Structure 1
């Protein structure tokens, strides 16, 4: 076998092992070291110590050091800490209730309140599992009590919970910036309107669906509605502080007043202040937030080390060049290249999560963007939208499993799958709209920072 053929074997074997259930981060690490030992093998093993005389171990060490010293990635643990503190501050339950009261006259008011709560909370958290789990405990029982259709209610929670990886300040965009060597500020600016568009399309779909079939979301009982002044006061107390915190964090980044890491530190401090103001700041909750942040950050770091080692060996063996030459040799039009790339990413979303797709497979397409004349920030937004589907595509739709994990026997997995299918179509519609109107993604960053010049 030639080296490029070994690289393709390496890739196929990795996907097979992931489907078999092996831990992804350590599978990447083992595959990278194993195939890297072959790639960098120089022969001449005479003593036991000569076994470790291979450049793959130097590469592993360098990749680990690169992850640890990457300034862009410093924002990840800080944003995670902010999300965990907010999650434990009892803000979300107040937010959901007040939004429900404010939207009570709209079709599917509970579903709309759940989507808005997911959008706001997932923006502050950025952790899909945490958002879906908490909303499954909070919003689903309320919708079940109101006799909402099970599939409809679960689809709302699963789709809304994934918005945090797109709407800034998004951890996924920080990772993308580090991989593609793009400006995180421009990526954040480019993601604002696509994120709002997708959330808006979700809400429009809910309203139209309930208008066509009111039986799936019966109107609420209006007998125990509090006075309007109290509704506005609850909305002011629950919605405004968290939204102001998010706007301050995002505004300081887009305004050039702070780097993402500095803004994340300010957000973490703001989360503690909010928890104190809501009288939810206890030593136990802070300790839990710190432990969860350390655990999630360690997982991300191991994932980065394994992915970069895997990708480095894959490229060294000629895998990237083989695929790039094959795609370029097809003489595709730019739109054909974009469709093909997004289809590949879409299908990869079945067995893999967004982090593996981003770190391993997206770098294969990045060198081709210049060949096909594609704006890298526009491509990044298409990928960011497409990665929503990695949480919503059966049979490996992680958001469905998160929800099933907390609801247990209250709902069947197939009912959740039926509920999330329409949102896959909405994501694809959003991608089509952005392709037809690139200004959705490119106008805002060009307005803030000037027209992008490669």
Structure 2
């Protein structure tokens, strides 16, 4: 028998033995103990291969009937209440409009996948990163991160990168384990990086805003991808034999005929050469349109630097408006002086001492009447104060405050950027110009789609459902623009979308019925009493919960963990003062292990299905283990520095 089966049966035996020990050690078996037994039976049934959604539904119905019937209800009444509960729970899932975004995001992902952009992007990134240690693995991780942001589909990214990158890595002499680990770990980034379906499911389960979850998961996702890239580069430097550098012939880019003719006719750096060629274009035999297109591509880095510099200057030199405290203090002083002159208030004994002790001083020049109106009939016309001359707030005649000078930090950053820009153009060759053109053709459409979808969600311009509709339409336009759209692509995308959506929706229905049965039996109350009896601190509770989720990631997939166990954990968060948003980010990072931990490790099976015959499943598992360690490091960093995940939601949504 294979080791994976031994591991699975051993784990199931431990679950059954633990449940039996819990039942036998109790003085009296309550309904809560039966609820925990139901939970254990569901886990074992799923590990045996029973469909998750229908297992949850069937167990929920059986134990709901038991809960009603054991409470003194007749058999007919218990059946009626059980059926009523089923209808109510199913209707509550159907009326959750957040779930509408799931089929739209999935449809967008399948269309983008079939637009064949992933192959173009991987090739251009591979060429642009050719001089980086472990360039093929780094390009693989970058490609996976970009496609995770554009699709959020794990299986599709792992399968496609297994077809594109894995053969090239093996041909270049890369170690099988390192190659498999980079592909499987990079493909799993779609679990965390928005638009992640996991975050939608967690938000609907925990009652947390999906918009805030998307904003919070952005930087943790980038951090995890950055840790992957850093590990690959360090490994390539320390153990070069695992990722040998690419030969020179694989780093060259064939130039188009017109660009080749231009490069031979005009020597020197690209930007001055293009300007000289544009001046003498009639003698080169190169169309003016081609010259202008090449010049526009070459000037894009300079234009991007100019836009960033102007925006940063605008923010850095923004006028500083007077604070509300200062405005309120000035109004209080003016009101006090006016009432005193009208005779409405008498000065308290002791002169100005009370005001001075209270932190209020008489405005300068107040003794001369600055800014105060003379009593009626006095005939005096005091000189207006500088505040009055400047105009009241909101007065159109008031002079707008000027901009402040740029800070020293801005000038340092501007100088460093200018130096980097000059150095870039100094080494900007014709081949690098072609690589930049390839990057623009493959990355820019995806970037525009990502900004349209995620930007509209994060900045509050659209709900996740509306943004998902825009994304699905954008995926359709990309497939049409790259001439990859046909009836077969549409039919397959619709079928896969319906299949995935049906699975998620049935999971929600089954989870809703199961959670109701668990609550009716008192299982949640029993778990809560047990956890509170441990007298855990907030840190200890978070460590315990994350360890449990990490262990559950071995036999179960993330969907099962979210829909079965999150309804158990979420009610406990208030007792320990844990923000559900922060807990969701920790869970999303942790559930990366559900795709990287044996014996389930679905990404390993995705890769095995498209890998050469000599690549074994054990080699793929061994390659994934270091990346699991990196995920644990990322979880620790997020816990130690919660601002990584909470800063952006706090800035955007207060």
Structure 1 length as normaliser, TM-score? 0.96
Is residue 265 from structure 1 mapped to residue 469 from structure 2 by the alignment? yes
CA distance in 1, matches of 2:175, 2:612: 17
**Aligned with 2:137 (options 93, 107, 111):** 111
SS for the counterpart of 2:248 is coil
Is residue 58 from structure 1 mapped to residue 84 from structure 2 by the alignment? yes
Contact 2:518 / 2:524 at 8 angstroms: preserved in 1? yes
Structure 1 residue 18, shift from structure 2 partner: 1.4
Structure 1 residue 222, shift from structure 2 partner: 2.1
Instruction: Please name the residue that 1:305 is paired with.
Output: 509
Is residue 217 from structure 1 mapped to residue 243 from structure 2 by the alignment? yes
Instruction: Please name the residue that 1:363 is paired with.
Output: 567
Instruction: Please name the residue that 2:197 is paired with.
Output: 171
CA distance in 1, matches of 2:612, 2:493: 25
Contact 1:40 / 1:54 at 8 angstroms: preserved in 2? no
Q: 1:371 to 1:52 in 2, by over 3 A?
A: closer
Q: 1:51 to 1:288 in 2, by over 3 A?
A: farther
Instruction: Please name the residue that 2:539 is paired with.
Output: 335
Instruction: Please name the residue that 2:39 is paired with.
Output: 11
Contact 2:108 / 2:471 at 8 angstroms: preserved in 1? yes
CA distance in 2, matches of 1:409, 1:18: 30
CA distance in 1, matches of 2:134, 2:613: 24
Q: Which aligned runs of 4 or more in structure 1 are off by greater than 2 angstroms?
A: 40-45, 50-54
CA distance in 2, matches of 1:52, 1:406: 51
Instruction: Please name the residue that 2:366 is paired with.
Output: none
Structure 1 residue 135, shift from structure 2 partner: 1.1
**Aligned with 1:122 (options 148, 153, 176):** 148
Structure 1 residue 168, shift from structure 2 partner: 1.0
Structure 1 residue 53, shift from structure 2 partner: 3.3
Structure 1 residue 58, shift from structure 2 partner: 1.7
CA distance in 2, matches of 1:324, 1:43: 27
Is residue 390 from structure 1 mapped to residue 594 from structure 2 by the alignment? yes
SS for the counterpart of 1:162 is helix
Contact 2:137 / 2:232 at 8 angstroms: preserved in 1? yes
Structure 1 residue 190, shift from structure 2 partner: 0.7
Structure 2 length as normaliser, TM-score? 0.67
**Aligned with 1:89 (options 109, 115, 118):** 115
Instruction: Please name the residue that 1:36 is paired with.
Output: 64
Deviates further, 60-69 or 276-285: 60-69
SS for the counterpart of 2:104 is helix
SS for the counterpart of 1:60 is helix
Structure 1 residue 406, shift from structure 2 partner: 2.0
Structure 1 residue 54, shift from structure 2 partner: 3.0
RMSD: 1.4
Is residue 102 from structure 1 mapped to residue 128 from structure 2 by the alignment? yes
CA distance in 1, matches of 2:614, 2:193: 30
Contact 2:65 / 2:79 at 8 angstroms: preserved in 1? no
Q: Over residues 138-157 of structure 1, what are the superposed CA-to-partner deviations in whole Å (9 max), with x where a residue is unaligned?
A: 11111111111111100001
Contact 2:65 / 2:78 at 8 angstroms: preserved in 1? no
CA distance in 2, matches of 1:258, 1:304: 25
Instruction: Please name the residue that 1:155 is paired with.
Output: 181
Contact 1:333 / 1:372 at 8 angstroms: preserved in 2? yes
Structure 1 residue 221, shift from structure 2 partner: 2.2
CA distance in 2, matches of 1:168, 1:184: 10
Q: 1:418 to 1:106 in 2, by over 3 A?
A: same
Deviates further, 257-266 or 277-286: 277-286
Q: Over residues 28-77 of structure 1, what are the superposed CA-to-partner deviations in whole Å (9 max), with x where a residue is unaligned?
A: 111111222212236645xxxx5983322222222222222211111000
Contact 1:98 / 1:235 at 8 angstroms: preserved in 2? yes
CA distance in 2, matches of 1:69, 1:92: 36
Contact 1:37 / 1:54 at 8 angstroms: preserved in 2? no
CA distance in 1, matches of 2:176, 2:616: 9
Contact 2:216 / 2:645 at 8 angstroms: preserved in 1? yes
5+ residue gaps in structure 2? 1-28, 254-430
Q: Over residues 262-316 of structure 1, what are the superposed CA-to-partner deviations in whole Å (9 max), with x where a residue is unaligned?
A: 0000000000111111111112101111111011111111111111111111111
Q: 1:350 to 1:37 in 2, by over 3 A?
A: same
Structure 1 residue 130, shift from structure 2 partner: 1.4
Instruction: Please name the residue that 1:79 is paired with.
Output: 105
Larger Rg: 2
Q: Over residues 365-390 of structure 1, what are the superposed CA-to-partner deviations in whole Å (9 max), with x where a residue is unaligned?
A: 21221211112211111111001111
Q: Over residues 217-258 of structure 1, what are the superposed CA-to-partner deviations in whole Å (9 max), with x where a residue is unaligned?
A: 111122141122211111110011112201210000011100
Instruction: Please name the residue that 1:207 is paired with.
Output: 233
CA distance in 2, matches of 1:281, 1:422: 39
Q: 1:304 to 1:146 in 2, by over 3 A?
A: same
